[in-house]
Structure 1
Amino acid sequence: AIRIKDVLPKDACIIIPPNVTGIRYFSQRSIYVDYKSNIHSKKYLSQADVRRKELYNMTLDARRSGKDLVTEGAIYYSNMDTSGFQKLKKDGATHVLTKVGHKLYLPEVIRNNEYIVYKL
């Protein structure tokens, strides 16, 4: 995340898997949606619900079910393809963070042994 801070523009908005934490804090960049953020304005809540559904297949009902939504959401996220992520650019997303094995057909910005950041 510290390297992301050095590479991405300050106005970047990063799409992240639900099981990745600390990116917002260490990178000092915006996150498209955080799977656990809840207390905000009514407008944000409805927007966040839509975004959680798009990225992690999480719904309000599922959140109340007691299931391990982080693991299920990470699996759903890891199956998203390039076009699925590109659709989110219209809503302000600028970059996507994936595990190294999750190949997207987008320009690669930075990588380490575990993750890749792509530019939308």
Structure 2
Amino acid sequence: MAETYYTEDHEWIRVDKGEATVGITDYAQEQLGDLVFVELPETGKTLTKGDVAVVVESVKAASDVYAPADGEVSAVNEALPGDPSLVNSAATGDGWLWRMKLADAGQLDGLMDEAAYKKMIE
């Protein structure tokens, strides 16, 4: 069963059998407003926790999305360059940003579960 974790920077990371899918939370996309551009990482790129992995631009501002853990980008959401609004309509579903093979699953221990994240954004 996949487990989902949250960061203080409003990313979510869903881990299933060593592969992680990463996106921004519904709260984050609401704060940004309508997205007009998403710059995705290259497949095969190695990310270190805290690295800027993705840049999203909305009508309001540009914002960085950070890697929540170390790993290698294994896939990107190819639908987003043509339809960045997918992040707005389905931030935790079809609007995912990238997938990665985790280098150290122990890094997830410092992240929040859904209850803790909801408490943070209240």
TM-score (norm 2): 0.28
Structure with the bigger percentage of helix: 1
